[in-house]
Amino acid sequence: MTSTLSATEERVLVALAAVRDPELDEPITALGFVASCTVADDGHAEVRLRLPTYFCAANFAFLMVADAYDAVSATEGVTSVDVALLDHFAGEQINAGVAARAGFVSSFEGEAVAELAELRADFLRKAVMAGTDLVCRPLLAAGRTPAELAASRMGEIPESAELARLRRRRAELGLPSGADAPLVIDPVTGGAVDLDALPLHLRRARLHKVGIEANTGICRGMLAHRYPEVEERQS
């Protein structure tokens, strides 16, 4: 099938693919959260987002809409942006707040008490833990000992999509992510996890990974139930 998207629309979709659900750590495009994306001849971009349920947490939703607005605004060929969340209990407040660049507290005056930087960081820490499991479990299965794992540096690990993703998440948090950085670190302090603490740390990493995968499956199922065309398109 020949694509009918313009070059600018293609660039906008690429930009949206860099926007992630903060809890699931997956692109909103891959999750089916982008309902539509169009760019007029004058460069005005219009993006419509949707979520699995009417009552998805307002703070998660605000992050995604705000991130989508920022990503589209920075896209070459876009002159103005209209990003809106559809079918959501707080959609009116979120859409107005993001359009006005008002921030979460101002958008939910009297209800919100803090901006969302710490929430974003908390989910990034969970993504780092899940990524640690994805990188370390195969290494242990291949015969690397716990002591070797505790002493390993990022640059000593064979390149993979999982390692690259872990490196990016650590960098987003300002954690050590270069070749000389320890492979296994505490996502709060950034310090290396020693051998004694390693077993518990890896069990926690596994739990984070399984939890994110389970939540992703649930959200995909609810979105497909709410919007059957999503499942048909992905099939």
Please tell me whether residues 152 and 102 are part of one structural domain.
no
Give per-residue pLDDT as tens, 43-85. 999 999 999 999 999 999 999 999 999 999 999 999 999 999 9
For position 76, what pLDDT does the model report?
A: 97
In a domain, 231, yes or no: no
Distance in angstroms (rounded) separating the CA atoms of residues 78 and 232: 30
In a domain, 149, yes or no: yes
Please tell me whether residues 66 and 128 are part of one structural domain.
no
Q: What's the structural domain count of the chain?
A: 2
Of 88, 113, 138, which residue sits at a domain end? 113
Please tell me whether residues 28 and 81 are part of one structural domain.
yes
Please tell me whether residues 127 and 33 are part of one structural domain.
no
Q: What is the CATH number of the domain that holds 12?
A: 3.30.300.130
Please tell me whether residues 142 and 90 are part of one structural domain.
no
Please tell me whether residues 131 and 209 are part of one structural domain.
yes
Distance in angstroms (rounded) separating the CA atoms of residues 30 and 14: 11
Q: Is the pLDDT of residue 1 over 90?
A: no
Please tell me whether residues 149 and 204 are part of one structural domain.
yes
In a domain, 173, yes or no: yes
Distance in angstroms (rounded) separating the CA atoms of residues 121 and 197: 23
For position 234, what pLDDT does the model report?
A: 52
Angle value at C-alpha 24, between 20 and 29, nearest 5 degrees? 40
Please tell me whether residues 98 and 164 are part of one structural domain.
no
Please tell me whether residues 184 and 100 are part of one structural domain.
no
In a domain, 69, yes or no: yes
For position 4, what pLDDT does the model report?
A: 80
Distance in angstroms (rounded) separating the CA atoms of residues 35 and 178: 37
Q: Tell me the residue range of the domain where 173 lies.
A: 118-214
- Across 134-146, average pLDDT: 97
For position 229, what pLDDT does the model report?
A: 81
Of 66, 98, 113, which residue sits at a domain end? 113
Residue 138's nearest CA partner among 152, 124, 123, 126 is: 152
Please tell me whether residues 108 and 136 are part of one structural domain.
no
Of 89, 113, 137, which residue sits at a domain end? 113
Q: How many CA atoms lie within 13 A of 195 on its CB side?
A: 7
Cβ atoms of residues 176 and 182 within 8 Å: yes
207: Cα separation from own chain's centroid: 18
* CB contact burial 157-167 (16+ within 10 A = b; e otherwise): beeeebbebbb
Q: Would the pTM of this model clear 0.85, i.e. be above it?
A: yes
The three-state secondary structure class of 79 is: coil
In a domain, 50, yes or no: yes
In a domain, 224, yes or no: no
Q: Is the pLDDT of residue 170 over 90?
A: yes
Question: What average pLDDT is seen over the chain?
Answer: 95
In a domain, 107, yes or no: yes
